[in-house]
A and B are shown apart, each in its own frame.
Chain A
Amino acid sequence: MGLFSSRKTHVVDTDILVIGGGFGGCGAAYESRYWGRKLKVTLVEKANIERSGAVAHGLSAINCYMGMRWDENQPEDFVRYARGDLMGLVREDLIYDIARHVDGTVHLFEEWGLPIMKNPETGRYLREGKWQVMIHGESYKPIIAEAAQKSASEVHNRIMVTHLLMDATHPNRVAGAVGFNVRDGCFYVFRAKAVIVAAGGASHIFKPRSVGEGMGRTWYAPWSSASAYGLVLRAGAQMIQMENRIVLARFKDGYGPVGAWFLLLKALATNAYGERFEASMLDDMKSLVGKYAETTPLPTCLRNHAVLQELKAGRGPIYMQTQNAIDTREKEEIGWEDFLDMTVGQAVVWASQNIDPKEKPSELITSEPYVMGSHATCSGAWASGPADCAPADYQWGHNRMTTVEGLFGAGDTIGGSAHKFSSGSFTEGRIAGKAAVRYVMALVGNAPQVDDTQIRMLQEEIFKPLANHAIGKHEIVAGSVAPSYISPLHGLQRLEKIMDEYVGGISTQYMTSEPMLKRGLELLTMLREDLDHIGAEGLHQLQRTWELKHRVWTSEAVLRHTLYRQETRWPGYYYRGDFPKLDDAEWHAFTASRYDTKTGEWQMSKLPVHHIIS
């Protein structure tokens, strides 16, 4: 196809559009179909739904399961746990809502064929920790995808969604989305009555520790390109807690999971001299965060903080003492399966460096930061809560609807609701799916209208990077250096460097401050302008270009929220050098932002944190 020939446009009309076929999107498709038997449910995915999203690789545990049937935990207990881990700032209504439904989701997964390990003595699911159950999860994603494929009216694979469409007749109402097919370059217009954004959070906005080929082995998937935020914030949705990035203490370089080693196999982390170090730092932690240092279990960020202090003192490397934990073949298999199910790369690290975990310990390190809404962190869109338990000011529409009418979210998209993981993200997708059905059914005769001019402008914008390259390459003989365009990888590496050096990445030991953030914003603003000059050599690079744009838009939100919150709430995730302590008097609140699509301005504000569980 010639670059300037007219591209084919496909228009897809649907009642409900689900963007992203990971766990949130699969849950949304299943539940939308269950309640909306006659509605058209369309799922769109930039890869192949069978192996897409954060769980493409597989997983070795389900990290959110109450076990209410055995009276193991109640939803209230889970809210207290997530609140403690996030230093007090969570949407308790949203977390409670996921916790009360999540067991039903996990039981459904087991019925579908997901092998869940059993405790031979009790017959119950084998617990890894209080909230986690062990699974044989290599095929977790294909199993869940099978259910979603049988639920959606249509699944469109390999469509990169770039923008949401807004209603021409009604301000602040969503009307669908646009994107392109990464295989044939066709332009896609989805006109929808309701849209559920279930796209991924953000890897690769901060410079990763690995620098060459290994930059792909980030902890979160490299295809988690911040579309969860890039899409909704550009539609004018209010965002919260975007500063609440997460840093993970994991096996060095491979980023293999540590949960099973700590919780099930009871391996210990020590410094280079075999000493445990967390307990001795409690006084230091108290001086920074006060009563929050007394939370049990110790919050994730504070555990990172302890590792960082130990490394700064020169007592590293930090080691997981695996050799004391796997004394039987059964335990050895659990340890290896933990990696082979979800992080094969860690097994490769061990094989290549001659590390047998039965014989010697393995290094742990804190990762580069990530921005997401489903792990021990809760960035994302401000969403309306469940009618029967959300405080009045947390409700303005259907459950999981953002501040844009008809725009719902699930998984990484929804903010304030940490510790969803796979089962909770699927559950949140189900909640959003049902709510979207209710919304669509109430819309009778009032469907959104799509303005053709809006679509044509977006089409031009979407394909422009191809033209930038096709024209610009004639200025040079050969190679990758051109005066009028940069490649998407060039842009990504500039983004990662800015975020790393000014917004609290690894090279400053996660430290930032107002002057650093303001300088970072100047550079980020120039990068945002340069996004108009990305040159894409083909459709694969066009996908990378749009992933980069979503990452840059998201990064600006991360930076502005970090600047707005004048305290250090989560030492170990990041530090504000100019406000080194937690400040509950001023900042026991959510940070909120709204990007004005017309003026390009950001409005920052605080939103209240209500504690509805004692």
Chain B
Amino acid sequence: MTAVPDIEFRAVTKRYGAVTAVSGIDLAIPPSAFVALLGPSGCGKTTCLRMIGGFEQPSEGQVLIRGRDMAGTPPYRRPVNMVFQQYALFPHLDVEENISYGLRQARPRLSSRDISSRAGEALAMVQLAGYGRRKIHELSGGQQQRVALARALVNKPAVLLLDEPLAALDKKLRTDMQIELQNLQREIGITFVLVTHDQEEALSMSDFVCVMNGGRVVQLGQPSEIYDEPADLFVADFVGKTNLLSGKVAGLSGDLADVALADGTVISARKRGPLSRGEAVSVSLRPESLSLSAPGNGSLKGIVRNRIFLGSTAEYAIEVQGIGSLLAKADHVIGQGNLFKPGEPVAIGFAAGAPLAFPGPKNNGTNQREDQHAEILS
């Protein structure tokens, strides 16, 4: 017998007039997991979260929470709580009143001693003990974020929903909160569902990533699966940085395809999806799977156009004749002055199995990476 999923979508479709925001999603979110719904804006991830919270009703299909169909159940009767984007804290209440708001709605009523002791615990949990009497506008963004978390968690929900909770914080604070959220989730042991458009955030925080695009779930898996074995071209391009090279299938053998690149070089790539000979494909090569060496060996030759030294690593933009610009990332070992300089010719190699061949030409909505290369090149 398998455990009942905390959240389950069964053939859920949501339409707004003529626009379909979510189309036919089937999804089971396992209990006690940290799950990220990841996708570009307009992919339907927020709509999914709002359907769990009860703020939107599915046009078709069912949303189940712990096995119970939630059709017709209003938000205030659902065993979930949400951390809203920009927090939506009540400006007319102080910190403690905000946190105990949910407790005061409980029926049968909780004793006021219960309420204040639980609110106190929640404040301590988010390291805001002693801030109970502060006004919301007196708090910093990070503190408001913690109050929003405490306000949701104090109700002991079955599932915590987080709608882009870190978007308004600066980078340093965001990293701290990412770690804190992970710790909290492990401590409390309930399911967290996080909506984010930031793939780094999704990869770093969650146990499972659910990549969405165009109202559909494209891939559900552990972060490393999503990164290493992207289901399609969209995921390969959206999650992490990658180089996409156009080519044609020159030969097929088992899991592998020989792909002729634009400059005539033939490389061997792992097949992702059904391919036939002569078909246009895109080959994905992660920057860190490229290795640079002095000219002479390697499968591709290029010229370093630009270098960004990041301390532990260095990123290179390399111009390859006939193919375009490639992004390469190399570890930097202290004491080995092995940095290539702009203008230097290099040979590019990669491990067998690193290139992935996807059916279809690139550039269906995948211009983002090109822009990044352009940024480095400029």
A binds B: no
